A and B are shown apart, each in its own frame.
Chain A
Amino acid sequence: MHGRVKVKSTAQQEEEKRKEREKKLKAFVSARDAVLRKRSAGEHDEEALQLTQQLLSSNPDFATLWNYRREVLLQLETSREKDEVQKLYESELHFIEACLKVNPKSYGCWHHRSWVNTRLPQPDWTRELGLCDRCLSLDERNFHCWDYRRVVVKESGVSVEQELQFTDRLIGSNFSNYSSWHYRSTLLPQLHPQPAPDSASNTSPSPTASPQIHSHRVCEEQLLKEYELAHNAFFTDPNDQSAWFYYRWLLGRAEREEMISCVYVSRERERVSVAFSKPVHAQSEGLMLVLDGQPQQVEWRSTHPRLRHSPVWLCDLPPGSVSDISNEHNLTVHWTEKYTHRDCALYTGCAESWCRDSATDQELFRSELSVEKSSVLQAELQSCNQLLELEPQNKWCLLTIILLMRALDPLGHEKETLAHFQTLKEVDPMRSSYYSDLCSKFLIENTILKMEYAEVRVFSLSNKVLEADDNAIESLEGLYHLPKLEEVSLRNNQICKLSDLESLASCTKLTRLDLRGNPVHKTANIDSELSQLLPLVTALSL
């Protein structure tokens, strides 16, 4: 039509672009080949810098070129004055900055930048910090830059306080930022550490307590401020999990003290069992047994045939060493790695003996959150309940409430906890199995807690029978090495395969097995297969 501006067609434009790209590719390939030739010829000159610069500025992720550049720079450095070296590396920093604009998440660039700063006679850390600020304001989740920032902060001695303010700023502009929250969690204990507990509360009765300092804890005054910050975040957006995770961290992850919680010795079997507060690897952690002052050469074995770490380790004593009932023995198990030990005395006339940590009774099932004072936890529970009233479907809130309730009073809150688990499973069906698992764990713990006296809590399998009917059990994984077990009843469970029963083969006295009401009975040749797997079982009900 008359008067219209004529414009190139899309095809024409495409064609032009394609030609342009082809030209670029050709130039790139020939430059690359030239550089690689130079490198294999061992040439370390200015020209190499120029060529690699051209290539890297269009593709900063070419790691080989960065390596070559470092070789060249190291070579050039040797033949120059100090201020020339300074200039050389400063121009390198400028070049890297240009490359970062091409790809702000280039591993090669960030690594090279750290390296250049170590070579610079006078590194300008303020400038580097400014660069980090700028990059993080463009993309607050650029973890390359976060890493680099930590290097800069460490090298230039930026105060922890300034860094904390920096996280304040980033969280203020967008609190969905794990990096900032996490950085905060590393800064706070440095800036506001929890004062060392005063001596009155520190008279630990247990001689086995290891000298552990809770250096990762934060003082209460600051904690209260942090709780408020977290409240602001999860009341603003309760579905954002970053603040919830930070909050869980604030509430205190109670790390169990690493210790030997129980040593048990039996005359009849001439065996020592040691239980730890967490799974350990006995061979590598320096576990040593001393019997009546004599170190013993024993072989430690785990209760589980495959896992290397186990909370329980067993060893056999030399034959005849404790079998005489009229002798008294003193055993000590040393855990040399942790500078801790536990004694156990086997008196005359006793067939067996054990020594347990007395604290274990009170903290039988330590909740994940239990370090803080209960008044603080109580207040936090109230806040969460307030949020739950507004957001009855929020899974993060529900889960946090459950954890708080367990930390405060697991039995008193049992009913509410169960109701919350029910809601959780409904609002988050994807994780319903996880919630069921957690719920059943809590129920078991509660059942044990309800047993009034500590002694009742000692399970005795000496009646030699394990009854586990009607439990939806799918596997007997974990039921290894029960030396006294004679009878197992597993009626109406979900055992499908013979392999699910494998662990029973390690129980050497098992003779009676009841498997009625399990899908496994459909297996072909079940009788012969079972007698092959468990030859000792004589009374089998299918």
Chain B
Amino acid sequence: WQWLLVTMLSVCVHFPGLTESVIAAACSRVGQSVLHLDRRNYYAGNWASFTFNGLLSWIEEYKQKVQITESEQVWRSLIDEGEDVVPLSSVDSSISNLEVFCYARLALILLTTNTEHEVSEPEEEQHTSDISEPSQSQEEKDSQPISSPADPPVEVEKKITYQKLVKEGRRFNIDLVSKLMYSRGALVDLLIKSNVSRYAEFKNIGHILTCRNGKVEQVPCSRADVFASKQLTVVEKRMLMKFLTFCLDFEQHPEEYQDYTEKPFREFLKNKKLTENLQDFVLHSIAMVTQQTLTEEGLKATQHFLRCLGRYGNTPFLFPLYGLGEIPQCFCRMCAVFGGIYCLRHSVQCLVVDKASNKVKAVIDTRGQKISCSHFVVEDSYIRDEQRQSTAYRQISRAVLITDRSVLPSESDQQISLVTIPPLESSAPAVRMVELCSSSMTCMPGTYLVHLTCSSSGTAQEDLAPVVSELFHVSTIPGEEPSEVLWVMYFNMRDTSALDSSSYSLPSNVHVCTGPDGSLGSDCSIKLAESVFHHILPDEEFCPPAPNPEDIIYDGDGPQAEGPGFDESVNTEAEEEESNQE
């Protein structure tokens, strides 16, 4: 019954990642009816944030590779003459090489004053993958009273146990992608312009760090940092400031770099008489480019970084509280406020293409309903290989760590840090690490959530495990001193950002959005969303500011007189809309 509405749909968005959510919000904002479907039971796909327990289920799901059985018969009957069918993939293969290691002990080690006896037995330190189900006997032991209240345990360093992580799992918001928001990047601009920013809160990144010779240190990137830096000589300070000032408006001085346009940025830095030290800082931590990057691109990246400084603090970055997964959700909310409809655990099996015009006219969902639509937006992972012209995608290596101390302890332990780790060999990729503190609302107090990202050369574990062991103390022998790292997950994620519409053979009103890319910002996804939007609605404005609630005029009577309030939850919004239409 509920699909009566959506049969006159104008845009159908499938799989709400960031790009898809922005497109949905933009279309809904200008009055298009939008249906948002997702085969999963959570929002945002590979952009999602999970609680610790949610992540464990996700891991399980990955291992079981749930296959949705296709029921060809159901939709065959729905196809009319002159219509063709393009089936969609039902398996998401964008995640691979998932490995999980747990270093957290399974129970507290407590010394009691009278017995000096370890109550719980030391567990094997390393579990591969099957950590989600601790054995029954263990749990029983752990639940036994360890010491009576009259007999308090001696002050010992309490390590966080695995049980504690599970128990406090709701405090975690673990993102599958790790990105930061450039304070003058396309995403922040869009959030401000569209008023979507009101749905989220943000925290400044406090430290920009790098790791050289195994030592974590601060990167001097702002004027105040350069002034205060103890690692730089005064001459280095001058050279760095001079270079950074030049980068701010390098286009005005083409004579300075025109001989280097075809040469790597690194050579240009050398030519600018920057010391090795400074070259590393600029290349890896400020421009965040590779050894091979050409001069102009490097200059642009440096300029972008510098322009973002000072807008919201001394570093160029913001991070959304409760994790990056908040951002697609904010746009989903905006979409819902303006009438978009959301269905989770609901998927499209195939597209119905009008043979004459070679355009999608409808989709058939997993329940065998035919829903007409004039545009279809879909994420790359739903596209079958038959529809691909090229499969030249890259991989991102990811690691997620839960640790119990910061890589650079400082006066304030509630800082988000970005650490860039230059490659050991010039061919290897640089690793980017984001360490989130508990006040970012992504992990429980007393822990840090650490994301590592690099473009893959091998599996995630091969790429990132050396960095993890360089930066953190990871115990290798069971019973050794406690590990800083409590839990690690490695996985590879497909990076399809290099693909464009020419990579697929699909009807022109099917818009494929690529998944998250490996870069630090989200500009790529936002630009893509804008271009898809303009393709769908060439004459409309992209995400004009949402009006203030008090400026909305409500007409008519009945429940609609209350109107779509901004504070109502997304779900009730959608349901209300549906029931009204019915």
Contacts and interface: CB of A to CB of B under 8 A. Distances in A.
A2 B235 CA distance: 65
A378 interface: no
A235 B237 contact: yes
A232 B234 contact: yes
Interface in B215-244: 223-224, 226-228, 234-235, 237-239, 241-242
A381 interface: no
A379 to B, nearest CB: 13
Nearest to A173: B224
B551 A7 contact: yes
A386 B235 contact: yes
Contacts of A236: 223, 226-227, 237-238, 241
Given A2-B31, A7-B553, A232 B564 contact: no
A460 interface: no
Given A1-B31, A3-B339, A175 B224 contact: yes
A434 to B, nearest CB: 27
B338 interface: yes
A5 B547 contact: yes
B227 A175 contact: yes
A167 B307 CA distance: 28
Nearest to A8: B551
Contacts of B314: 173
Contact of B224 (A172, A387, A390): A172
A254 B251 CA distance: 47
Contacts of A30: none
Given A7-B551, A173-B224, A232-B228, 14 more contacts: A5-B338, A5-B552, A13-B551, A172-B224, A172-B227, A173-B314, A174-B224, A175-B224, A232-B227, A235-B237, A236-B238, A236-B241, A238-B238, A391-B242
Contacts of A306: none
19 contacts: A2-B31, A3-B33, A4-B30, A5-B547, A13-B551, A172-B224, A173-B224, A173-B314, A175-B224, A231-B234, A236-B238, A237-B223, A238-B238, A383-B234, A386-B235, A387-B238, A390-B239, A391-B238, A391-B242
Interface string A1-42: 111111110000100000000000000000000000000000
Interface of B: 30-33, 223-224, 226-228, 234-235, 237-239, 241-242, 314, 338-339, 547, 551-553, 555, 564
Interface in A370-416: 383, 386-387, 390-391
A378 B227 CA distance: 24
Nearest to A13: B551
A172 B553 contact: no
Contacts of A386: 234-235
Contacts of B30: 4
A233 interface: yes
A5 B33 contact: no
A18 to B, nearest CB: 15
B231 to A, nearest CB: 12
A390 B552 CA distance: 60
A341 B314 CA distance: 59
B241 A237 contact: yes
B58 to A, nearest CB: 36
Contacts of B235: 235, 386, 390
A166 B416 CA distance: 25
Contacts of B553: 6-8
Contacts of A390: 235, 238-239, 242
Nearest to A172: B228
A409 to B, nearest CB: 25
Tell which of A174, A233, A236 has the most Cβ of chain B within 10 Å.
A236
Nearest to A231: B234
Contacts of B226: 236
A235 B234 contact: yes
Contacts of B338: 5
Closest 9 interchain pairs by CB? A235-B234, A4-B31, A3-B31, A7-B547, A6-B553, A236-B227, A235-B238, A8-B551, A235-B237
A309 to B, nearest CB: 42
Interface in A153-203: 172-175
Nearest to A5: B552
A144 B416 CA distance: 34
B237 A232 contact: yes
Tell which of A2, A5, A7, A173 has the most Cβ of chain B within 10 Å.
A5
A20 to B, nearest CB: 12
B139 to A, nearest CB: 48
Interface in A484-506: none
A390 B236 CA distance: 11
